[in-house]
Structure 1
Amino acid sequence: MFRRAFWFTTGAAAGVWATTKVQRKLRSLAPDALAVRAADKAVKGGHRLKDFALDVRAGMAQRESELNDALGLDTPPPDQGPGLPTQARRPQLGSAHHRQGPDRPNDRNEDH
């Protein structure tokens, strides 16, 4: 009698466990659950990509600083003061940039 009760209880417990396991698996494979998991993975991937980009940017700044120090570009020349003069930094582009003439025969920037 006790044997039958033991095996009956064991079988019932195994059935409940298996049913619960199957129900959890079915819920995890539902479209809503899959969408939530995919969105979470996309967000985590975005965070990893952002962290990577920040690490690359920091490494670039550090390497640029090292190169500037090695080449002596951080210290301005003694006769120019701090930085380069404005004209040396960027050429001035005015109306002469768009003109046609013998010195620029292939310029196609014509105003019509």
Structure 2
Amino acid sequence: MFRRTFWFSAGAAAGVWATTKVNRKIRQLSPESLAAQAANKAIETGHRLKDFALDVRDGMAEREAQLDEALGRHDATPPELPTQRRLAAVESGERVIYSDTTQQHPYNRNEDH
């Protein structure tokens, strides 16, 4: 009698365990669950990319500091920006001609065409 009770209990437990596993797998494969898993993976990937970009930026700053030290550039002033080009207005008859005051050429290259 105990043998039959044991096997009945073992079969019932195996059935409950298998049903639980199957139901859990069905829930994991539902469209809502798959969409949530994909969204979580996308967010995780975004965080990893952000961390990678920050690591690259830190590495670039560190390497730039090493190169500045190796080249003897210890000044903290940034390099000067080029001066702004200014146009001078010259009146020629009825129309106003704008000429570039920083241009070195005595002619306009666009007039040749």
Give the shorter-chain TM-score range: 0.7 to 0.9
Q: Which amino acid aligns with 1:55?
A: D
- Structure 1, unmatched stretches of 5+, are 77-81, 108-112
| Paired residue total | 97
Give the distance between the partners of 2:75 and 2:56, measured in 1 at CA: 26
1:91 is the counterpart of 2:83: yes
Provide the C-alpha distance between the structure 2 equivalents of 1:53 and 1:22, rounded to a whole number of angstroms.
Answer: 42
Q: Find the counterpart in structure 2 of residue 68 from structure 1.
A: 68
Find the residue that maps to 2:74 and give its secondary structure.
coil
Larger Rg computed on CA atoms: 2
Deviation at 1:68, TM superposition (A): 1.2
Larger proportion of helix: 1
Letter in 1 for 2:84: Q
Question: TM-score normalised to the size of structure 2?
Answer: 0.73
CA distance in 1, matches of 2:17, 2:75: 74
Asked if residue 39 in structure 1 is aligned to residue 39 in structure 2, the reply is: yes
Q: CA RMSD in A?
A: 2.5
Identity of aligned residues (%): 56
Tell me: CA distance 1:103–1:66, structure 2 relative to 1, closer, same or farther (3 Å).
farther
TM (norm. structure 1) is 0.74
Alpha carbons of 1:44 and 1:12: their partners in 2 closer, same or farther (altered >3 Å)?
Answer: same
Higher-RCO chain (CA-CA 8 Å, sequence separation at least 6): 2
3-state SS of paired residue (1:89): coil
Structure with more of its chain in strand, by fraction: 2
